Amino acid sequence: MTPSALIVPTYGQMLRALSAWLAKAEEQGCVTEALMAARLAPDMFPLATQIRFACVQAQEGVYRLRGEAFPASLSELLDEGRNGGEHPGTIADARARIGETLALLEQVGSDMPDIDPGAPIAHALPQGMVFDLTAEQFVRDWALPQFYFHLMTAYAILRAQGVELGKVDYVAHMFRFLRPETI
């Protein structure tokens, strides 16, 4: 399996799950800015930021694998996430960001080139550190773990704030593979 064949569907299915978790929070009456400003610990980013950073990670991973420069919209989303503590926004705002990211994944997913797993990728961080990785290492050791960190932190914040979520909400994408006679 090529890195691009792994990353695009993974991001898509988990971002759809994140959007569903937020919809569940709305259904349960948790639509206040307080929810979006909630944190697991004082030194961690709030829910609003975790959601936006999950979207950033998905977009960044795709653009990096495609060898394309990041668009200005990605920097705007990153800044919006960094300011999530002061301006958390609403669940609707967060779901809109997820929707935008899903639309991008659908657009680029259809023409995502097969990336050689051994292709070199230089991953530079804003602090100036640069990691020299292969495409496979980038996806396995950076792109997916960073994405899942923000995704699962969002899940944990939602649970800690009383949103009724469970394993079935996390693995909803698996039910299309379920043998009907085993229910």
Is the separation of the CB atoms in 54 and 156 below 8 Å? no
Chain mean pLDDT for the chain = 92
Helix (H) or strand (E) holding 47: helix 47-66
pTM for the predicted model, two decimal places: 0.92
Residue 3's pLDDT is what?
83
Percent of the chain past pLDDT 70, that is, above it, reads 100
State pLDDT tens for residues 106-117.
998 778 888 899
| pLDDT of 21 higher than 90 | yes
| CATH fold label, 3-182 | Four Helix Bundle (Hemerythrin (Met), subunit A) (1.20.120)
